[in-house]
Structure 1
């Protein structure tokens, strides 16, 4: 039987199936079942899905929280734009603000300590992508997204905006420094 020519009988499901075609249908079905059961399993045991919270906020209210944290916990400034590096106490609430085309402030966290990271956008939708760990979240204006984090390795981590936010989107980078 050829797939190019129309079937001689109009009831196509009563036509015999070729062995190769049946094999591929069986492989596809098995793969679909594997993926169907792996998705909920990975959601629970994969440790990649944040179990965070989200609250309504306003840009003005969130900005006040960020500036209060910056005033109380700044340890130094980095880059030519003089961005403050904030070292909050372990177990505290940490605030990270997204705005055109900046993550503010840079954070310095201690390895093995737990923090509640609050994030919000001042203007557009931004994407929070922590590299090289591949943690991805959407940061929306009007919402304060909160996740609990415990850094388990030292180093310098880059925050990349992965939602297009305008002409300088490619320069929207932030830093998280994790120290021992």
Structure 2
């Protein structure tokens, strides 16, 4: 039998399965079970998957909370678009809005303090990828994602959208400053 030509027997699925095929099926099944167990293990002990919270919300309700937070905590404005830089209170909650094609506002955090960063999208699915740290969250409209983070080093960290969101996706960048 050839892969190009049709099978010589019209009812090929009624043919018995060869021993080597059963061996490959068994190997694939065992490997699948190993990976299933390892996914649970990596989630609990691997420290690469965040256990975050998510709540149902509306874009309007989240935007209202975020705008209140921004109004109360803005310390300066940056860039030619006058994006506010907001100092998140130590141990407090910070809000980031994802929308075509920006992250709003810029957050300023302190090294060694724990924060809860609330993320939500106003329009489409966006990806929150904090570089060079390996934090990666899919931000979905209608949900408020809460990520707990404790910065361990100072510097400027880039927020990159890694979920294609349209023609301006390549310019959807944000920042977090850690002092």
Q: TM-score range by the shorter chain?
A: 0.7 to 0.9
| Residue aligning to 2:79 | 79
RMSD: 2.5
Q: How does 1:100-111 map to 2 (within 5 A)?
A: 100-111=100-111
Partner of 2:67: 67
Aligned to 1:140: 140
* Partner secondary structure for residue 35 of structure 1: helix
> Deviation digits for residues 126-177 of structure 1, max 9, x if unmatched?
1111111121111111111112111111111111111111110000000011
Give 1:161's aligned residue: 161
Cα separation, partners in 2 of 1:166 and 1:58, compared to 1, 3 Å: same
In the alignment, structure 1 segments of 5+ residues that lack a partner are none
Q: TM-score, normalised to structure 2's length?
A: 0.82
Shift of 1:25: 9.0
Q: Which residue does the alignment assign to 1:172?
A: 172
Counterpart in 1 of 2:51?
Answer: 51
- Unaligned stretches of 5+ in structure 2? 3-7, 9-13
Change (3 A) 1:75 1:37: same
Q: CA deviation at 1:12?
A: 5.9
- Compare 24-33 and 77-86 and name the one that shifted more: 24-33
Q: CA shift at 1:29, angstroms? A: 7.6
Deviation at 1:36, TM superposition (A): 3.9
Pick closer, same or farther for the CA change 1:40–1:75 going to 2, 3 Å. same
